[in-house]
Amino acid sequence: MQQRSADRLARILDACAGLLDETGYEQLSTRDVALRAEVPIGSVYRFFSNKRALVEALALRNLELYAERITARLDSVPAGDWRGAIDAVLDEYLEMKRTVPGFALVDFGPPSPAEGPADDANRRLADRLAELLAGHLGRDPGPELLRAILVSVEAADALLQLAFRTDPEGDPAIVAETRTLVLAYLAQILD
């Protein structure tokens, strides 16, 4: 019974991701998600109270997938190589932005503004990245590292949004500038 429920939830989130790519957030409806997932509309409402809750769940799933994929990438980066680790973080984000359904619109949070400080997708991402990077680099994930990662996430988010608005694959020059900026900033903390 639990496996069937988990499979149904995965189908609903997959349907949501595909529809986001096709129609965008404003046109997304729970009814269309149910039809695409081939489940009764009641199944969607069993898991999610509304469209926003559905998209938030997709964002959390994206964060978990991102963390898993970064962890796999970090396995090939030497422990002391923080620049290689940051490259892995950026490369994985770009890869997911280009290939994972729904990720282009809903990476780690809904496309509409956050409802409050506790719903801050970039802070959630920074917390997770600080944890992963501190573990990989053998550093304390204290407030200084967390603040630096949060500033880097905020800057990279704004610049990569610009890169993908300029070019659907991410403007290579803006992506390169983003990488330069993040590495130069983090060098103050990680060198």
pLDDT in tens, 21-72: 999 999 999 999 999 999 999 999 999 999 999 999 999 999 999 999 999 9
For the chain, the three-class secondary structure string (H helix, E strand, C coil) is CHHHHHHHHHHHHHHHHHHHHHHCCCCCCHHHHHHHHCCCHHHHHHHCCCHHHHHHHHHHHHHHHHHHHHHHHHCCCCCCCHHHHHHHHHHHHHHHHHHCCCCCCCCCCCCCCCCCHHHCHHHHHHHHHHHHHHHHHCCCCCHHHHHHHHHHHHHHHHHHHHHHHHCCCCCHHHHHHHHHHHHHHHHHHHC
Report the predicted TM-score, pTM, of the whole model to 2 decimal places: 0.90
pLDDT in tens, 85-125: 999 999 999 999 999 999 999 999 887 665 555 458 999 99
